[in-house]
Copies of this chain bind each other. A is one copy, B any other.
């Protein structure tokens, strides 16, 4: 079994709020960036993504367990948590220096590019996601 996919992000000053920690909404942005890199790692580049396959978020659950502050490196692992016919879940686990910080499970619907109606996940995407189950 391969090592889990990991993406690193460094916290910007602009992302830290008056409590000295990353403002909650930015975690969804971090996970979005991690999702992009995960899909790229699976072989789906900008042209594929844009033209033949597109996703929209339909559900997200986040849990915060520890802080991330200015200039911290955040390590985010990404894996497939569920693989349906027209939607799938990715699991994100973020930590700072080994300490758990924020986790999320996000459900993406496969949609007709441009039209936003649900379609089956293309076979190549399904196969790639299946190989990265948690």
Is there contact, CB below 8 Å, between B46 and A71? yes
Is there contact, CB below 8 Å, between B24 and A60? yes
Give CA–CA (A23, B57) in the complex, Å. Answer: 10
When C-beta atoms are compared, the residue in chain B nearest to A111 turns out to be B19
Binary per-residue interface labels of chain A (84-113) against chain B in the complex, 1 for a CB within 8 Å, 0 otherwise? 000000000000000000000000000000
Is there contact, CB below 8 Å, between A17 and B17? yes
Contact pick for A32, options B24, B29, B57, B62, CB 8 Å? B24
How many copies of this chain does the complex contain?
A: 4
Give CA–CA (A123, B29) in the complex, Å. Answer: 36
Is there contact, CB below 8 Å, between A12 and B32? yes
Extra 15 A-B pairs, beta carbons < 8 Å, given A12-B36, A13-B36, A61-B62: A13-B18, A13-B23, A14-B23, A14-B25, A14-B29, A16-B18, A17-B18, A18-B18, A19-B56, A25-B27, A36-B71, A57-B64, A59-B62, A59-B64, A60-B61
